[in-house]
Chains A and B, each alone.
Chain A
């Protein structure tokens, strides 16, 4: 009987912890079927040349399987969404996030940093296109 009492307390606290974990997730993200995080501002005017570069950037995003770790508008790995990244980070910062130098190792989980080393090999025009594409996400 005392055992049953202890069981109730244990499962009760477990349920409370579970609830708090879900509550935390809601606070960080809204409800699962709700709107994506990140503020949106109207996109600025885009010139024809820019829209070509952005299209190229989108293709590179797909070629490099960025969706393995990132999502845009709910597509891909929702763990690290990139919606609105253009409003949050400057072009320079986006570049540093795609291919961080060794000095920024601390800012990423070890496995992520290792994986991103591959993007240092991206030709400069491709990197620029990719950054332009991500910049356009506002």
Chain B
């Protein structure tokens, strides 16, 4: 995977620097001073990175498959910070060299390109802040999603206006060709995300066939395909679900598939009520239209067939992909030893509790519930998952076991650290994070 990462990383760098490299293919403009040229190069690089941000989140399955889409999203976030830093350095150097801007006595004396840059930068900073601290600012996911799309396009257009109005490097050879290629690609991207993919989704509709209330303020949404075979997926994967609206509205939410992969014609999503959209799911009428874009994700036991056994560590809604994997294993007659460490608030809030018991009867599965508020006479584990519990319950020799962790962030952190302390190699630990933003 490291080698693949390096190759894609180099491709990324090449794309980002392409416009700059083209400057060298013809008569070079004279040097404008080391720091000025470095600043301008960083500006162009930031521009390139901005354009590619749209490609990263267009959910191209082939591009995300080598890594898993969560890595692409993390990369998108971190690269946004790098881009912001480049813009700050770019502006800092150029402003330091030309402080006359600050002496301008009225707005009309400030060069146009500076105003475009300032607008673009402020909007970019707001956009990034809203994404990093969405919850702290109490922005709903839906509002965030809608504004993020609009704002990022605005940032790009303002940045383009800035570049155009500076007029630097006017004589790059094939400039119009490059411009055309970039514009067409970007429009094609927009077309794919806003029109083509939604149309493809509309050709494979689903209907809600059942809505089941579960323990722990969760509910299970059951979708069945209309006029097609359903969705082939690997147990542990997730998909974007559009419920009750047209796929062109882009009102979609990512949910893990909780049902067995052996049956593509029946998709179950077990979703915890966390306010906003998830609160409304339990009231969805049977027969509601739905659309499913997927599958995505590499949080799959099937991708690690060489394991001697599997250990699942789940908390709250994190049980969904784990349930999918266990149900699939049950249908396929899995014989290897399995462990499920499952954290819940109390006994009554264990989501899919009966299902866990059923699966324990069908598989070599040991279920260890960890309850924060145990009932009287509770003989099981209490509190939160700790290294001590893992160490005590698991066999002394952890070689050959693959670990799958899915749940709230603090639980994931504890689990990862505990497993590292227990000597489990990184390559055997797999995590799925629900709360990317």
User: Taking beta carbons and an 8 Å cutoff, which residues of A are in contact with B?
Assistant: 1-3, 5-7, 9-14, 16-18, 20-22, 24-32, 37-38, 68-69, 71, 77-81, 106-112
Contact = CB atoms under 8 A, between A and B. Distances in A.
A22 B70 CA distance: 32
Contact of A1 (B16, B17, B28, B429): B429
A106 B170 contact: yes
B174 interface: no
Nearest to A29: B31
Contacts of A22: 38, 41
Interface residues of B, number: 52
A71 B113 contact: no
Interface in B77-94: 78-79, 81-82, 85-86
A7 B97 CA distance: 33
Those 8 A-B pairs whose CB atoms lie nearest each other, nearest first: A6-B74, A10-B78, A78-B33, A14-B82, A111-B111, A109-B167, A21-B41, A29-B31
B157 interface: no
Contacts of A110: 111-113, 165, 167
A77 B97 contact: yes
6 contacts: A10-B78, A11-B78, A24-B23, A24-B38, A27-B24, A37-B30
A32 B8 CA distance: 32
| Chain B, interface SS category | helix
B62 interface: no
B433 interface: yes
A13 B79 contact: yes
A18 B42 contact: yes
Nearest to B420: A1
B100 interface: yes
Given A17-B49, A110-B165, 6 more contacts: A5-B74, A10-B78, A17-B45, A22-B38, A68-B100, A77-B98
Given A78-B97, A79-B36, A110-B165, A9 B75 contact: yes
Contact of A13 (B13, B112, B431): B13
B20 A111 contact: no
Contacts of B166: 109
